[in-house]
Amino acid sequence: MKSMKRILYVPLLTIIFGYMAACSKIVEGLNENPNLPSSASSDLILTGLQVGAITLHSGELTRDAGLWSGYFTGVDRQYFGFYNYLVLNSDFNTHWANAFRVIRNTVVLEETLQEENRAGIILGIGKVMRAHTFGMAASLWGDIPFREAGRYAVYNNPSYESQLNVYAGVQTLLDEAIAELASPIGRPVAGADIFFNGDPDAWTRVAHALKARFYLHTKEYDKAYDHALLGITSPAHAWVAKFMDANGAQNLYFQFYNGNRADDLQTNGSYFFDIMSPTGVSYRGNAKTNETARFNYLVRQRNPGQFVNNTMANGAFSVTAPYPLMSYEENMLILAESAFRTTGFADGLAHLNELRTYYRTGAHIGAAHHAAGFQYDNYVAADFELGGMANVQGLNRDESLLMNILEEKFVVLYSQLESYNDYRRTFNETVALPIPPNTGSRVPQRFIYPQTELDRNPNKPEHIPGIYEQTPVNQ
């Protein structure tokens, strides 16, 4: 049983993920003895864990969520079915397995650190990553295994806990991580941490930003605001996955669209296309806003009438383009929304304008697209009044500001999972993005439990919800 306790699950991508010279020695020999990884050091385990997290949080999971949150249209094969809400429990087997592999690897890291009598910064990093994946999993599935998850030597069939308890546990994990990151000891060896090279300040900012994100999920807006103030308040602090132009190590969207499935998943016909394309039926541009350059950065025309993610050189999904895991823009929009909801219109507008000030530098789209045109002048209160350029028909001034914040965040999170969480969180509120169902009159409210859990785990919930049943936090 002890050897089983130490099994580390590392995806194939780890074998070929040599995208940074600094960690080449760290990952050397990682798979020489895959059945006996107990010989791996905690630094090596950290690297493998992080690569697995990149695969999870920037890969297929985001494409499926994007089909249900207004980003993509599914044209063929499984994407057609997913887009039209024709899904089976088995369609979620891989997503669930990948999420709990990442969680398992954080457990292996912690167990190895205990055996090495080591703590501090590296332990804090592992806890941030565990909290990140647990929060994502709870947001999608609701009740999930938590305290027993990933500890297979003791809990082969982990019990489920309520979604709200998991969110509370995630916040505790992040508090523990922040405390560990404040330690002067335990920094990973150079290159082992492929995100920040063990920088405790950078990871502390990520931890606070994640706390803000998950407090937003639970609608504790005052706490979300407090932690976003301590979060990623500069583009330099963003948490991103980095890639290189080598086989298997490219941006995962680049790999997808340059494989044999490029025609299956398109942007044309989506809510995103309608509000972002200058030719869209609900284009969000106005006298103070020109989105042409950003649209061209995010999306390209592949064939007449067919638009897909821009994987060309200088595009947002090019071969080496970084993928945001927690961005400056998201943190700023958490500030804007939570400030609006707690302290009022003026503070919400101030934070939105702070982000628009950054946009005016063009750094969010890259110089290659500047010539297409971009403009983000600051808004004033009158712009949201009835008849103002940013007023939304049928809404008053305050509601229009909130709608603009939610819409801006929807654009910022293009091709990311988190937009699906925002969509469901605000679904039944007065102010919510009018993203139409892809088919019928209902929108899926969750990912459903995988068939593997239904078949194998006797501790699964007694009630197995369908895709249209809201998770507890959104009820």
CATH number, domain 2-474: 1.25.40.390
Rounded CA-CA distance 98/95 in Å is: 5
Q: What integer best gives the mean pLDDT of the chain? A: 92
Share of the chain above pLDDT 70, in %: 92
Confidence (pLDDT) at 39: 60
Confidence of residue 77 (pLDDT cuts 50, 70, 90): confident
Nearest to 294 by CA among 408, 403, 400: 408
Transcribe 217-241 into DSSP letters: HTT-HHHHHHHHTTS--SGGG-EEE
Query: Residue 14 pLDDT > 60, yes or no?
Result: no
295: left (phi > 0), else alpha (psi -120 to 50), else beta?
alpha
What letter would DSSP give residue 97? H
What does the pLDDT average to over 152-173? Answer: 96
Domain ranges of the chain: 2-474
Report the half-sphere exposure of 222 (CA within 13 A, side-chain side).
Answer: 2
Confidence of residue 7 (pLDDT cuts 50, 70, 90): low
Confidence of residue 198 (pLDDT cuts 50, 70, 90): very high
Instruction: Please compute Rg for the chain using Cα positions.
Output: 22
Q: Which amino acid is at 303?
A: N
Confidence (pLDDT) at 2: 36
What does the pLDDT average to over 436-452? Answer: 97
Query: Residue 262 pLDDT > 80, yes or no?
Result: no
Q: Is the pLDDT higher at 161 or at 25?
A: 161
Confidence of residue 9 (pLDDT cuts 50, 70, 90): low
Query: What's the gap between Cα 218 and its chain centre?
Result: 17
Confidence of residue 34 (pLDDT cuts 50, 70, 90): very low
Rounded CA-CA distance 430/437 in Å is: 18
* Cβ neighbours for 394, distance < 8 A, ≥ 6 positions apart: none
